[in-house]
Amino acid sequence: MCVWPSAAARYQINKIMPTDRTEHDKNDQPDPEPAERGTERVKTAATGAPASAQAQDLASQLEEANGRYLRLAADFENFKKRARQEQVETMRYAAAALAERLLPVLDDAERAMAHVPEGVEEGWLKGLQMTVRKLEEILGSVGVERIEAEGKPFDPNLHEAIGSEESEDTDEDTVTAELRPGYRMHDRVLRPALVRVSRRPG
């Protein structure tokens, strides 16, 4: 015989075992991780193209920066070469101004030796010769050398013609006489030689 519970009994049962979801059911929700992981994969796939474009942009910037660095390095190396060359040139020609001022002194000493009067003491003459030799040695030590002139073809870079003379024995435009010696320091002319050149008889 089945006895149906009374209304009061049913109320008590419903309080203990409710048919709706309890707080325990609410806390025991299914793990949403699989759905969230799927969403993350979708997001990753969606942002894959922008990430690749960003990487290409960074690579382009790196290449451009590297190019600028190489250009700057090359410019700096050229600057160092120019600075070294200028320093060498400065050291090489530092004595040029002093040498130019000593040349007239050498000229006077050589003229004095070429016109030694009779009866001059031998000691005085030797002293003059020593002075000329010392001057030549000092000038030679800084690279000063005499320009060859007489008997050489006329060179406007080395010679300054102040006259000419007819000659059948020499080629035209040949230096026939040196009136004042010329000097150069390395490849720089300190002063040209004053010369006369030959010309064909008119």
Mean pLDDT of 122-128: 87
**In sequence order, which residues have a C-beta less than 8 Å from that of residue 19 and are 6 or more positions away?**
none
**In sequence order, which residues have a C-beta less than 8 Å from that of residue 125 and are 6 or more positions away?**
113, 116
Spell out the alpha helix ranges (H) of the chain.
Answer: 7-16, 23-27, 33-92, 96-114, 122-141
pLDDT at 124 over 90: no
pLDDT at 17 over 70: no
Spell out the alpha helix ranges (H) of 115-189.
Answer: 122-141
pLDDT in tens, 168-199: 888 899 999 999 999 999 889 999 999 999 98
Helix (H) or strand (E) holding 189: strand 188-191
Mean pLDDT of 28-34: 51
pLDDT for the residue 42: 43
Domain 96-199 grouped into CATH 1.10.10.10: no
Global pTM value: 0.56
